[in-house]
Amino acid sequence: MSGDLIPFLQNVANGLLIGGVYALIGVGLTLIFGVMRTINFAHGEFVVLGMYCAIVFNQALGWDPYLSLVIALPAGFLVGVLVQRLVLSIIGDAPEESSLLATLGLSLIIANSLLLTFGGEPKSVLVPYASSTITMAGEVYISVVLLLAGVATVVAIGGLYLLLNRTEIGRAIRGTAENRLGAELVGINTKRVHAMVFGLGTMLAVAAGVALIPLLFASPTTTGGVFTLKAFVVTVLGGLGNIGAAIGGGLLLGVVEVLGASYLTSEYRDAYGLIAFILILLFRPQGLFGRTVQRV
Amino acid sequence: MNWNAVGIALMLAVGVVYPFILPGYMTVGITILLFVGWATAWDTLGGWTGQVSLGHSFFVGLGAYVVALGQNRYGLAPWWTVLLAIGAAAALAYVWGRITFGLRGPYFTLSTIAFAEIFRLIAINEKWLTGGATGVFIASLPEPFGIDLFSRWTQFYLALAFAIVSVGLVALISSRKLGYELRAVREDENSAMAAGINPTAVKLKAFMLSGALTAVGGGIYGIFLSFLEPHVLFNVLLSVQIALTAIIGGRGTVWGPAVGAVLLVVAGEVFRTTFAQANLLIYGMLILAVVLFLPRGLVGELSRRLVRRRYARSIKS
Amino acid sequence: MPEVLRAEGLSVRFGGVTAVNRVDLKLEEGEILGLIGPNGAGKTTFFNAVTGFLLPDEGRVMMFGRDVTREPPYKRAREGMGRTFQTERPFEELTVLENVLIPAFLKHPSRREAERVAREVLAEVGLGDRADQPAMDLNLARRRRLELARALAIRPKILFLDEIMAGLNPPALREMIALVRQLQDRGLAILMVEHIMEAIIELCDHVIVLASGEKIAEGTPQQVINDSRVVEAYLGTD
């Protein structure tokens, strides 16, 4: 009995930790959609930008990825704000399809610019503690890298919670999300809120990229798409626009992927999330917890 | 003056002489023609009916694999397997559409990506079906009337035929009942229903036509490549390229996708010399430009201006 | 006169709210029936349920004696139901002619025939000279006539008009009233939801009043206007 339990707990633990990072990515996406009704197809590319940021600083200065957050976070925020100001705000209230296409274009631009700058070879960051583990309850081994990612996730989401619920800006954001017109009537500068929110969303994505890079190889043109898709799976699982649900969705995806790969065939690891995604779109479009996708 | 017929005649003329004038650019020519056909086929669903699919590479791969495997495993000649591919594509499009047409706009698009991804994983992993990730090599092809199907010249003319059929079909339906039904469904489903149109039936017709045509191009593409790998054929970037070609050129127009194909493939080739692999950069920049400034695409914006000018002139007289 | 449309005990509920509560209605051939009531009375909901754009929770809809309650709108269109929409939704990207061509295809699949019918209908509503204009460029009055043309192009036997007079200036209003009268003379049965009393009084043979989802009165326009319950309903809900 306990022979099966340990590996199972191991898997669940791993799944939760990696799910935390997925949650981070998903929260960024769902925040953007919830406040701006924008479908950000370039979200995964921002994750990749975070990855390359860590790679660059690691190769040039030997920095640990988490150290490069000092640069990556503000840079990510800034890029997000710029993108929103220069591109997305022009689209304004046009149908969601426009933002989908515009951000699709952005994702191609970012991905291919990265390709031109860094070449096509997959890159990663090898940290000295890459194979270290911590043991919990005597028998469950948790990789230090994953654990750090989990910590980063908690810190980031905790910070976001504080921002949204304890600050003036947070109130403005929540107001705009609920009712844009109403928010403007009470004097909230929704344009500034939109720019901020997009910046926040991309910042979270960048942070996730930094946390992930010790775990995998980044390839300029394919990795972004993978994470964009995962982000959508996560947010739809939870319900677009619902942050708490995105967290739940992320954790769920992480666990489903790890368990699915262990107990069922591992080649279809990515497929489980996709199938769940389609099923939810079809049968419970409001997500497992939330309410947004509308059916015809 | 039936301008569409003129355009097609022109396409035929240019196409027939192209190999003689630019024999060194056959691959580019074939690529252009394939994209003309694919983008036009995509557009029947994405432009005329308004359902944006980012999963059409599935049909390309389907066509290619059916032709390749039909030849390798069962000795069936391409002209038979292409028919098989058409049938399979239409059937799968029907099922796929039935399942997902209830989803609104962007969510339908997301579902097409998810579906295509799942199919790609199946193609990579199910060796018994597709030969797996290692790929399939078309060793030999029949020679009808002594024609060598492996020759670039033959493939070019096949692709030309594909492109002409694609554009021709769309031109035909554009002025007929089906063409208008498609557009009505795209514009407003409720008004369409009030006019006696069954939106789901129409969308399914569009999807089946779109998928089947794309698969035909896929079959030709398979012969052109002669070595098929799942990650090349069921590639989401290919889907994106096809969709963007039609959107940039102009959705819902007869010639928009064709114009987009010529423009983007040529630009891609030009960029390839300077930017190597990153020729998709131009797709990204152009789609941004289109969304921001030319929402109906190049041909769409042009034709809208012409329609207005024609009307203005007609009331002056 | 024979009955062409009947609604029996029609109810529509949204969540906990009952928008329409057991409403009956009867429309005879060649008759113009008006449906009025204060805002929020459930007129549009009822209208959508009768025309098949909403599934009622209770009750039946019969067209020419056949139960069509669960039939989708496009089937009913084939059987002779034509309707306009309150927020006119022309096919914006198409020309006026093309807008009318689409419904004309229903009974005339050939392009040439459909175009002939479409031009006829456009002439009838007075849009003949605007055939090649993009629909999105039309002003309000013309958009209304386009709505009407689209409904007429399917050669309906029953016409459902959803606030087709709203917002029209006096000359346009007179024209539209005359047009509807003409349609009745051609033998169409018409059910019209309206707020413009002038139109109701002039056109309707019979009027039904809805308030808070229930039928509170019916009769000739004169009877209904003088009915105290009706007056109260309009004044009370402000």
Average pLDDT over residues B43-54: 91
Q: CA B115 → CA A125, B63, B216, B229, B236, distances in Å?
A: 33, 17, 20, 19, 11
The answer to whether A97 faces chain B, any CB pair under 8 Å, is yes
d(Cα B231, Cα A130) in Å, to the nearest integer?
30
Residue of A106, A232, A294 lying closest to B110 (CB–CB) = A232
Residue of C72, C106, C132 lying closest to B311 (CB–CB) = C132
In chain B, which residues have their Cβ closer than 8 Å to the Cβ of C105?
Answer: 177, 180-181, 195
Q: What is the pLDDT of residue A94?
A: 67
Which of A108-117, A122-131, B301-310 has the highest mean predicted lDDT (pLDDT)?
Answer: A108-117
Are C105 and B180 a contacting pair at CB < 8 A? yes
> B1: pLDDT confidence band, cut at 50, 70 and 90?
low
pLDDT tens digit string along B114-134?
Answer: 889 888 888 888 878 777 778
**Domain parsing of chain A, residue ranges:** 5-283
Token couple for B278? 């990153």
> A189: pLDDT confidence band, cut at 50, 70 and 90?
confident
How far off is chain B from C176, nearest CA to CA, in Å? 21
Strands (E), chain C: 3-14, 17-28, 32-36, 58-63, 66-67, 81-83, 158-162, 189-193, 206-211, 214-219
Locate the chain B residue with the closest alpha carbon to A295. B103
Mind giving me the DSSP string for C49-61?
A: HHHTSS--SEEEE
Query: What are the residue ranges of helices labelled H in C108-227?
Result: 111-125, 140-152, 170-185, 197-203, 221-225
Average pLDDT over residues C196-222: 91
The answer to whether B240 faces chain A, any CB pair under 8 Å, is yes
Mean of per-residue pLDDT scores for chain A:
84
Q: CA C39 → CA C160, C194, C231, C233, C237, distances in Å?
A: 19, 11, 13, 10, 8
Q: Which residues on adjacent β-strands are paired with residue C20?
A: C12
Q: What is the pLDDT of residue A1?
A: 46
Provide CATH code, domain A5-283. Answer: 1.10.3470
Q: Which residue of B193, B271, B274, B291 to mutate against A (max A Cβ within 10 Å)?
A: B291
In chain A, which residues have their Cβ closer than 8 Å to the Cβ of B278?
Answer: 112-113, 115-116
Least confident among B73-82, B156-165, C201-210: B73-82
- Report yes or no: B167 and B254 within 8 Å, Cβ to Cβ: yes
pLDDT tens digit string along B130-156?
Answer: 777 788 888 888 888 878 888 889 999
Higher pLDDT, B63 or B306: B63
Are B311 and C134 a contacting pair at CB < 8 A? yes
Q: How many CB pairs under 8 A join B and C?
A: 86
The answer to whether A113 faces chain B, any CB pair under 8 Å, is yes
In chain C, which residues have their Cβ closer than 8 Å to the Cβ of B315?
Answer: 129
Q: What is the pLDDT of residue A172?
A: 85
- Report yes or no: A29 and A89 within 8 Å, Cβ to Cβ: no
- Which residue is associated with the tokens 């390229």? B241
The answer to whether B273 faces chain A, any CB pair under 8 Å, is no
Q: What is the pLDDT of residue A291?
A: 47
pLDDT tens digit string along B242-292?
Answer: 999 999 999 989 999 999 999 999 988 887 777 666 778 889 999 999 998
The answer to whether B275 faces chain A, any CB pair under 8 Å, is yes
Locate the chain C residue with the closest alpha carbon to B184. C91
Average pLDDT over residues C75-89: 89
Amino acid of residue C112: R
Locate the chain C residue with the closest alpha carbon to B306. C134
How far off is chain C from B130, nearest CA to CA, in Å? 42
Are B121 and A285 a contacting pair at CB < 8 A? no
Question: B and C: touch, per 3+ CB pairs < 8 A?
Answer: yes
Say whether pLDDT at B316 is over 80. Answer: no
Are B181 and C101 a contacting pair at CB < 8 A? no
Are B114 and A278 a contacting pair at CB < 8 A? yes
Say whether pLDDT at A252 is over 90. Answer: no
Q: Which residues on adjacent β-strands are paired with residue B137?
A: B227
Element (H, E) at A141: strand A140-143
Amino acid of residue C62: M
The answer to whether A135 faces chain B, any CB pair under 8 Å, is no
Say whether pLDDT at A142 is over 90. Answer: no
Q: CA C71 → CA B75, B193, B197, C79, distances in Å?
A: 50, 12, 13, 11
A contact residues 40-69, partner B, Cβ 8 Å cutoff: none
pLDDT tens digit string along B148-181?
Answer: 888 889 999 999 999 999 999 999 999 899 999 9
Higher pLDDT, B240 or A191: B240
Q: What is the pLDDT of residue B198?
A: 94
Nearest to B67 by CA among B75, C140, B57: B75
d(Cα C23, Cα C12) in Å, to the nearest integer?
10
Say whether pLDDT at A285 is over 80. Answer: no
The answer to whether B198 faces chain A, any CB pair under 8 Å, is no
Are B117 and A229 a contacting pair at CB < 8 A? yes
